[in-house]
Structure 1
Amino acid sequence: LTSFAAGILSGAAGILIGLNFNAVHAYMGEMMMLRGFVVIIVGGLGDIRGALLAGLALGFVEVFTAAYLSSDFKEAVTFGALVLTLWWRPTGLFGRAIIHRA
């Protein structure tokens, strides 16, 4: 049931994105997918609240980067945030620490 719902939502998203760009091709969602990956990693794997907050924060950072610097730097700032997060907190900002028990 979950896979069916995910397929339906993915298909609907693809149709809406295709309507927005007036064309459909295999590589049209590449940057959206990479931004989604950054949001999941920065927010913490398996943490919905962290992903929501990371998505909002990433949106604000991209808008302010485009407004005050240049829109060409949006991707650099996005992936810079990913690198800094992985360096500073590998489990994500809201991820839980991994406890190894012997």
Structure 2
Amino acid sequence: MFISLKGHGLRMVNATDSRCRKLAVAVRTKLPKRGMRTPKAGRVQFLAMMDPDVVADIKLAAEEERRPAWDVMEEAAKDWLKRRARRIARKTAKP
């Protein structure tokens, strides 16, 4: 039986020896992270400050689509950059 001690990096392993005594051994392990947190290769970390309601909405939308939040944000940033490039191109193309 495994008992996870979250936040402590410990997992308790309970077993019974040949004399039927319980043996508790603490094993230092890294606990697996929850959710889809591992980005695709070639990505770098980026920190941005946002309104808490916006962050909550992004996380909810990502969960509904069964995608990680970073993937939703990356898609939104790419879309914004495309719209920005078109807007700049229209401004510079005007005679």
TM-score by shorter chain over 0.5: no
Bigger-Rg structure (1/2): 2
